[in-house]
């Protein structure tokens, strides 16, 4: 088998594997059982369990009220329950798997990610970690996802925190077929590298 054929096979195998992983990540979010007192939803593509974005609210006599004094207390409660504040990469992967660009898709996200008070808040919104001194705020609308850099406010408002249950953060195990494709790609690349090695 010549080098060109091996290169094509390696590329095709790698591309197929990446496509397989991407397809696996394209999935919906669904309601999940409470975890250590925290209301949650699950990304069915990765298997990660996330805190509901309206978790900072509880029902009051005249409507929802804040259950934490400030965001530090909110974060502490999530951490104590085994959740980890998500960074830019985790939220990018999650939002990429949740199509909100239609009224139906947006409603599905609202029903799962902001279960109790989302319809009152009228938004699916949260802060992710980004860099020291700055965060990224993500909003869902029927037009799609939007995000921007900002400072983390101390006061609680209409945005939650993107936090996933770190004890269950194993995610999806790649399908055997995908692993075979990756293996084939690596084997082909190894053969090509071996043929390029000078004979001494």
Task: Give, rounded to a whole angstrom, the gap between the first and last alpha carbons of the chain.
Answer: 23
pLDDT for position 24:
41
Q: Do the Cβ atoms of 153 and 142 come closer than 8 Å? A: no
Alpha helices (H) along 26-87? 71-80
198 exposure class (CB count in 10 Å sphere: 0-12, 13-18, 19+): exposed
pLDDT for position 13:
41
Could you list the pLDDT tens digit for every one of the 200 residues in the chain? 554 444 444 444 433 433 333 344 445 899 999 999 999 999 998 899 999 999 999 999 988 999 999 999 999 999 999 999 999 999 999 998 888 888 888 888 889 999 888 777 777 899 999 988 899 999 998 888 999 999 999 999 889 999 999 875 544 333 333 333 334 444 444 444 455 455 55
Provide the whole-model pTM. 0.70
pLDDT for position 106:
87
Strand partners, 164: 50, 84
- CA atoms lying within 13 Å on the CB side of residue 78: 28
């Amino acid at each position: 088998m010549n080098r060109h054929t091996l290169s094509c096979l390696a590329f095709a195998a790698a591309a197929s594997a990446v496509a397989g992983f991407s397809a696996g990540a394209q999935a919906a979010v669904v309601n999940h059982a409470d975890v250590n007192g925290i209301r949650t939803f699950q990304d069915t593509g990765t298997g990660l369990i996330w805190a509901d974005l309206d978790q900072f609210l509880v029902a009051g006599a005249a409507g929802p009220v804040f259950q934490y004094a400030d965001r530090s207390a909110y974060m502490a409660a999530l951490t104590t329950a085994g959740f980890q504040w998500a960074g830019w990469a985790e939220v990018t992967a999650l939002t990429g798997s949740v199509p909100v660009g239609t009224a139906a898709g947006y409603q599905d996200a609202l029903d799962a990610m902001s279960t109790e008070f989302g319809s009152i808040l009228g938004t699916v919104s949260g802060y992710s970690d980004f860099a020291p001194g700055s965060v990224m705020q993500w909003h869902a609308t029927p037009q799609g996802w939007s995000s921007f850099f900002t400072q983390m406010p101390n006061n609680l408002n209409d945005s939650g925190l993107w936090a996933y249950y770190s004890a269950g953060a194993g995610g999806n195990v790649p399908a055997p077929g995908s692993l075979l494709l990756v293996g084939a790609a690596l084997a082909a690349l190894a053969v090509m590298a071996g043929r390029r090695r000078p004979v001494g």
